[in-house]
Amino acid sequence: MSGQSWSAAATYDAYKSNYALYEKILLTAARQIEDLLDESMHRTPLVESRPKDPMSLFAKQSKPPKDGSRSFKYVDPWRDCSDLLGIRIIVPLASQKSQVQALIEASHLFKVLDVDDKSQGREYNELTYGGLHLDLLISGAVTPLSDHVRCEVQIRTLAEHTWAETEHEFIYKGPDGVSKDTKRQFARALALAELLDQELDKGVQEVSLLKSNAPLDLMKGLQALAKQMNWSLGSRGLTADHLREIGALTDRSPSELLTLSSDFASKHRDLLNRIRDEIGPQAPEFDIRNHALAVQPEAILVAALIHENPFAFNSQIEYSDLRDLVLPIARFVDETGIFSTD
């Protein structure tokens, strides 16, 4: 629609006519981002989305540039308005903001046009919101108005989100006459939010470095593999018990077991899918009395251990209660017959 003069009224009419399509594109993009994060992060951040309301776009387009060169804001609102579509990603830890950014940048689904890190460039004595904003081009998205569909992604911590939403409502968009003391209260709250984020990151980092945290890393790693394969996450308590016993019986470190599992999963995805489909919780033949381990992510580790050396693993678990749980998995993996029961 080149050559079109986009007055505020024309912009409103065109956007309202295509609003459902923009909303559909946004929901697809939000779902793609959610899937992307779900595959790579232990806990999927909260992902929210909203298209700009037609009246909000009308109001924005009604504001001409300061140089008075035209009577409306954007020459081409469909290419120039960066927040026509908006996605907000809320993470527990400040360190995860850059992780989310890296995952989006590495995806072929989006092109990052600009990055605005609000935490950078602040003066030492300045308290301001520190969210991370990405200006994205959604690959392959087109509308009758443009073949160029942009989306603004805001990445915040939960603490930043709580402060920003409250400050926006009661101060930025609030009534006149708010006292300086009240504004200082909001400034102090922002300082506390920043401190909370810093202390949480420090605490998580210190716990992560503990040798005793290695079994939890193994559990999280197996859960991440299970999520990637649409495998059930089962019971966290049972996973902890099983991994503790497997570690003791095999005398192998959690990091070694996780590497073994990851390598096996990458090379034998079809085999694991077959186990899931034939004796997993959604399978017609599933029986909790016989297939309880197939519900658990540690089944991936068990399959890897059987595949690596069925004789050694059978010997290690021969007198353990684990052996009965392992047998249905072994039926798919063991080619030696060592696990067969008469």
| 186, part of any domain | no
Give the separation between CA 135 and CA 83, rounded to whole angstroms. Answer: 8
What pLDDT was estimated at residue 237? 94
Q: Is residue 63 in a domain? A: yes
Distance of CA 165 to the CA centre of its chain: 21
Q: How many residues does the chain have?
A: 342
- Tokens at residue 33, please? 């981002």
Domain boundary among 157, 172, 202: 157
Q: Please report the pLDDT score of residue 287 as a whole number.
A: 94
pLDDT of res. 2: 52
How many C-beta atoms lie closer than 10 Å to residue 336's C-beta?
A: 12
The DSSP H or E segment spanning 85 is strand 85-91
Tell me which residue range forms the domain holding 266: 211-333
Q: What pTM does this model have?
A: 0.81
pLDDT at 125: 59
Which residue positions in the chain have pLDDT lower than 50?
342
What pLDDT score was predicted for residue 211?
Answer: 87
Statement to judge: residues 328 and 225 lie in one domain:
yes
For residue 33, count CB atoms less than 10 angstroms from its CB and return exposed for 0-12, middle for 13-18, buried for 19 or more: buried
Q: How many CB atoms lie within 10 A of CB 218?
A: 25
The total of structural domains in the chain comes to 2
**pLDDT confidence of residue 43:** 82
Strands 132-138 and 85-91, bridge-based pairing: unpaired
Tokens of 38: 């779900």
Last residue of a domain, one of 157, 192, 223: 157
- The pLDDT score that the predictor gives to residue 275 is 95
Co-location of 146 and 239 in the same domain = no
Q: Is residue 169 exposed (0-12), middle (13-18) or buried (19+ Cβ within 10 Å)?
A: exposed
pLDDT of residue 71: 84
Q: Is residue 259 part of a domain?
A: yes
Report the side by side order of strands in the sheet with 110-117: 46-51, 85-91, 150-157, 132-138, 110-117
Q: List pLDDT tens digits, range 223-282.
A: 999 988 888 889 999 999 999 999 999 999 999 999 999 999 999 999 999 999 999 999
pLDDT at res. 131: 85
In a shared domain, residues 21 and 140: yes
The domain spanning residue 96 has which CATH number? 3.30.460.10
Q: Are residues 152 and 216 in the same domain?
A: no
pLDDT for res 123: 67
Question: Hey, what are 262's tokens?
Answer: 């990851």
Q: So what's the pLDDT on residue 228?
A: 86
Q: Is residue 79 part of a domain?
A: yes
Whether the CA torsion 115, 117, 120, 125 is positive or negative: it is positive
The verdict on residue 316 lying in a domain is: yes
Q: Same domain for 148 and 233?
A: no
pLDDT value of residue 342: 43
Question: Is residue 277, in this structure, part of any structural domain at all?
Answer: yes
Per-residue pLDDT tens over the stretch 20-29: 999 999 999 9
On whether residue 216 sits in a domain, the answer given is: yes
Is residue 294 a contact partner of residue 328, using CB atoms and an 8 Å limit? yes
